[in-house]
A and B are shown apart, each in its own frame.
Chain A
């Protein structure tokens, strides 16, 4: 194995990993506040990609430059996904807020299937090719080859993650999100409308998922109704690996997963790529069930 191959795979891993990280944040934020695994989150990513696809195609045929088409279609996808996320919480999860935990979990699986079926009704089972909005001609940097598209993916992910960390740790609404995640009843006593905070959490997580959807679609040049499934599963794996409920955990878990998958490709055939995610998950669950960054603060009476 040559050093160059390794470096190249690390670069590829960072690209994929930053997408996993964005999606994993959606899982971890919802889990942190509701202790619910929102299995429909993968489908939110798919909705984001397909929404952006339709929007971008429309804008391009109207003659807009591709940069503008990209920005507007990402924005539209974020709004559509944020609204979808809020509606899913409002309609499917909120009535089950006090139900046994299995009920919302099964509902989440149901919502996931429902969204796939809706996507089939609207778009069919076809694979759509996603327009090339950012230049994909290879750029040589030392030994590795990347595209502008990939650079934009990594930079955007890092910026969004930094923004999220700032929001959650430095703003009033973010502090209220953490307070609500810790104790909804007491948060209510502070005057925090916890339903509003939960709604905001879904909106933000879903908007990040939308961006991730556009990234994946533009990177592979295609989008389809089923694209959220494997991506969602891997991002969920990343979130669990990092320590579900923990923002840093989701980000680190996503990056590690992307790296492991791509570096692993050096050793085995591409068909087996998806296996790595689950090997890593099992290993983490055995040796560090709370996740890599899973923290425990003593709570005294």
Chain B
């Protein structure tokens, strides 16, 4: 079976500096794949290149057999790709409800959108309680929930999450990963970027370790979790 998302020799450069130095990885349909790495390893740069936010300096991105390298981000949604950006990126001056509706911007099935919004409210009751509140007034964890719920309203086949646990208390991180688990169960393919290697590998099927713009380790998530090199570098010994 060919991969749903296939990245070959991807390079990202800012000015003259190469942040991503020609990496290969893939995500198969139905998988939860994680890309882990320390601060500045190039995790977000990789996602930005995949989602059309920066033009790759080299390499190709293939999605469902189609070359999507450098396709602008607004055109990717229609193909079934959604990105939950680093730092959540909720629209602070829009209500929770309006944020969710913006997630469904590319869709025209009004009735089904209403059903899907309700489904998100059932899955994440906190959002329902705050549906007419401005998103900027939510806590960090609630904003992350909103960002994930919003991405889901695009009905993505492939959901990419950039550090959903960033800056959140352990209890909230648990809740976020619970939501991610629920989404994975509903046949959404997930590419999860994380610094929290332990949690990410516990939830993932496969993983890649990114270091200074290069992939240094890859494989089955359980195997990586037990790998002494991963343990030493990312799991606190």
Contacts and interface: CB of A to CB of B under 8 A. Distances in A.
Contact of B89 (A185, A191, A192, A298): A185
B91 A191 contact: no
A136 B92 CA distance: 48
A183 interface: yes
Chain B interface bracket (under 10, 10 to 19, 20 to 34, 35 or more): 20 to 34
A189 B53 CA distance: 9
Interface in B107-161: 134, 136-140, 143, 150, 154
A194 B89 CA distance: 16
Contacts of A182: 91-94
Interface of B: 51-53, 72-74, 76-78, 82-83, 85, 87, 89, 91-94, 98, 101-103, 105-106, 134, 136-140, 143, 150, 154, 167
B102 A192 contact: yes
B92 A190 contact: no
Given A189-B51, A191-B74, A191-B77, A178 B91 contact: yes
Interface string A169-197: 00010011011001101111111111000
Interface residues of A, number: 22
Contact of A175 (B76, B89, B98, B106): B98
A194 B72 CA distance: 11
Contact of A190 (B106, B134, B137, B139): B106
29 contacts: A175-B94, A175-B101, A175-B102, A176-B102, A178-B93, A178-B94, A179-B98, A182-B93, A183-B89, A185-B53, A185-B89, A186-B85, A188-B73, A188-B74, A189-B53, A189-B82, A189-B83, A189-B85, A190-B150, A190-B154, A191-B74, A191-B105, A191-B106, A194-B74, A297-B92, A297-B93, A298-B136, A300-B138, A300-B139
B167 A301 contact: yes
Nearest to B83: A189
Contacts of A135: none
A299 interface: yes
A59 B87 CA distance: 58
B53, B89, B103: residue with the most chain A Cβ atoms closer than 10 Å: B89
Given A186-B85, A298-B136, A192 B74 contact: yes
A183 B143 CA distance: 15
A35 B91 CA distance: 17
Contacts of B93: 178, 182, 297
- Pick the 6 closest A-B CB pairs, nearest first: A191-B77, A191-B106, A186-B89, A188-B73, A297-B136, A299-B92
A193 B83 CA distance: 16
B74 A193 contact: yes
B117 to A, nearest CB: 13
Given A190-B74, A190-B103, 18 more contacts: A176-B102, A178-B93, A185-B53, A185-B73, A188-B53, A188-B72, A188-B74, A189-B51, A189-B53, A189-B85, A190-B105, A191-B74, A191-B77, A192-B102, A298-B137, A299-B136, A300-B136, A300-B139
B207 to A, nearest CB: 24
A246 B154 CA distance: 29
Nearest to B167: A301
Interface string A135-161: 000000000000000000000000000
A179 B91 contact: yes
